Structure 1
Amino acid sequence: MHAASDDSDLHPDTVAVVAGRPAHAPDAPMNVPVHLTSTYVAGGDIAYGRYGNPSWTAFEDVLGALEGGRCVSFASGMAAISAVLDLVEPGGLVVAPRHSYTGTVALLEERAQQGRLRVEFVDIADTAAVAAACEGAAMVWFETPTNPALEVADIAAIAAAAHAHGALVAVDNTFATPLLQRPLALGADLVVHSATKYLSGHSDVVMGAAIAASAEHEAALVQRRTLGGAIPAPLETYLALRGIRTLAVRLERAQANAQELVRRLDGHPALDEVRYPGFGAIVSIVVRGGAGPADALVERTRLWVHATSLGGVESTFERRRRWPAEQPTIPEGLVRLSVGIEQVDDLWRDLSAALDTIG
């Protein structure tokens, strides 16, 4: 276990590049190597491959510094989410957004059915309603922006309300990344990432992370990882760390592309709605006519890839209600766009041509 590096005098873009490096010395490597080992010689701090790995430490140093907390890496985003929810005492109430990642909703509902916790779903953009639901809660869990509705929560106000009732606050920061918002600085106790997405950024890693504001919660997360065995592989950790090095430039380009596409999509006759929170690179459009035209759209592009993940350098999109687990309050015609770093005119030409065929 370790605290975040002291990089408080550096901009986050710089921290993403310089943190988690080996000490500067003649002939020292610039990068922490991949440590492919399950076994360590006795007498040190690690002891065994399920307890630690220098590749994890480097990744955790960087993400911990970026989020301003103590990072624990996991095998996947769902493993990190599961470990954070394990902090809720048996039977505790979790307040969560009605619109969230389907895996998170499924996990909450499964645990509720098992009697391990209780869950109340709310409109996370309605701060007053969230505050009212905090009474008696053990944890307030939310994403902001939400997936795929792109609702934005007031982190500071919700954290204050939750803490007033003794509840923990956990925020999934996957969409925004620590370069656009830092929930711990706004009062959250825990932050979760699917490192599969923007952090790694190249659609070749499945990995997760949780960042705690306190040493107590960090220790609890480490224990859950150790006992549950949801450890990240060294190679995936190395690739995720390498991805973070270019996060700032990738996100800057993707966000600029997203904002330009939103401008061009506004008022398009094939669309009922364009949803964009004003930051980040995720856009949701609601195709007029529902599921049929939306399915036609995702089948008629050349550059845009029909795929379920997001946050990579390539642009992807999908109709979210194609998944039975998606919330029924999400429109049938909603297509979530993960805008990549391609040239924006090429993206627009491809997308608009497909829209014109269904408009």
Structure 2
Amino acid sequence: MNDAALHRSTLAIHAGRGPRTPGGPLNPPLTLASSFHGGDYAREQGTPVWEAFEEAIGTLEGGRSVSYASGIGASTAIVETLPAAAKVVGPAAGYAWTRSLLRDRADSGRITLTEVDTSDTEATLKACEGADLLWLESPSNPMIEIAELDRLCAELRDRDTRVAVDSSFATPLLQRPLELGADFSMHSATKFIGGHSDLMLGVVTTRDERLDARLRHVRAQLGATPGSLESFLALRGLRTLPLRIETAQRTALELARRLSNHPAVKAVHYAGLPTDPGHERAKRFMDGFGAMLSIELDTTPEAAEAVCRSVRVFTHAKSLGGIESLIDRRARYTGSSAPQTLLRLSIGCEHVEDLWNDLFHALEQENQS
């Protein structure tokens, strides 16, 4: 099969299946083993089901992939590739566990950390003077901001600054950071790749063989190994990702449009809207706008929380990327003094009118109370 000739939605279905051997299984089988004949040990050499999942993601990303027990395990592995006292530039707003990971490493003296608004390209480039690593999250959590990945990677290519991109919200179908010049592309496969809210897994892809070897060593050293069942389920989830993301992002755009005109909504954060600050950037290097959006309500934090409790089709829960739509109240960023009336929506595959009616009635019910 000539991978270069196939659309990525086709690759998501076929990559990582192995040779078409007569009598062999169509899907890579679940391998429940820690030791193998000849001396291989799963923590060190991996297992066939890990390898199948990594081959599939690597094919989509255009590099070599290493899987981990969780997304934060994958993030930790990237940090562990750095030398002692490395200078890291990270996002001032973004996924709380990644930011606490970087801050913990800075507090212990493992790295020095500069936080910056990574949607501000000039400020980010200035902060990267002498940096060993720039950590980007795009689209970001929970504000759905788009970093200027193409320009940042191009500007840093001639420096000794590596670029890591958490691309979990985009998936490999909508954004491929390695093609833009990034050194690491990271995904929490717990989210859209797995797609069914039933596993935890992370994956990092790189084109540098030395970094790939280092990532594998870190996995073995720290024991951040993925489970065989989780890898099997994530690979199965990947097969339906093209259908799920197409449906979900189409619905997300329609909901964003309607919510933009609702009197209770102060702001909608979604790059698919032409008025969004990240719209033109996303059009340049993304193949879609994704299925995550956030809305700010013109109300109190208590009322915003009540909206989450009032929905019946949406599920009030943390996390994202599942086939079911989720809603949760989030802080704009840790330490913000602004009223916490931001609602993050992960759009699934329910019918758009059912989701809209659910949101509309929850917003109207709160307006009347």
TM range (shorter): over 0.9
1:33 and 2:21 aligned: no
Checking the alignment, whether the CA contact within 8 Å between 2:200 and 2:230 is kept in structure 1 is yes
Q: 1:180 to 1:302 in 2, by over 3 A?
A: same
Q: Deviations over 1:213-234 (max 9, x none)?
A: 2111100000000111110010
* Match for residue 18 of structure 2 among 18, 22, 32: 22
2 CA distance for matches of 1:120 and 1:269?
39
1 CA distance for matches of 2:199 and 2:338?
28
Which residue number in structure 2 is paired with residue 355 of structure 1? 363
Root-mean-square deviation (CA), in Å? 1.5
Checking the alignment, whether the CA contact within 8 Å between 1:134 and 1:161 is kept in structure 2 is no
Which residue number in structure 2 is paired with residue 129 of structure 1? 123
2 CA distance for matches of 1:249 and 1:311?
13
Which residue number in structure 2 is paired with residue 246 of structure 1? 240
Q: CA deviation at 1:6?
A: 6.2
Q: CA deviation at 1:271?
A: 1.2
1 CA distance for matches of 2:120 and 2:207?
25
Q: Deviations over 1:194-250 (max 9, x none)?
A: 000000000001010000121111000000001111100101000000000000000
1 CA distance for matches of 2:156 and 2:133?
8
Q: CA deviation at 1:49?
A: 1.8
Q: Any gaps of 5 or more consecutive residues in structure 2?
A: 273-288
Checking the alignment, whether the CA contact within 8 Å between 1:61 and 1:71 is kept in structure 2 is yes
2 CA distance for matches of 1:116 and 1:305?
39
Structure with bigger helix share is: 2
Q: Deviations over 1:63-97 (max 9, x none)?
A: 00101111000000000000001122111111111
Which residue number in structure 2 is paired with residue 340 of structure 1? 348
Aligned identity (percent) is: 45
Which residue number in structure 1 is paired with residue 165 of structure 2? 171
Checking the alignment, whether the CA contact within 8 Å between 2:154 and 2:180 is kept in structure 1 is no
1:1-359 alignment to 2 at 5 Å? 7-42=3-38, 47-51=40-44, 52-278=46-272, 279-321=289-331, 326-328=334-336, 332-359=340-367
Checking the alignment, whether the CA contact within 8 Å between 2:249 and 2:347 is kept in structure 1 is yes
Q: Any gaps of 5 or more consecutive residues in structure 1?
A: none
Q: TM-score, normalised by structure 2?
A: 0.92
Q: TM-score, normalised by structure 1?
A: 0.95
1 CA distance for matches of 2:87 and 2:176?
25
Q: Deviations over 1:278-305 (max 9, x none)?
A: 2100010001123111111001011111
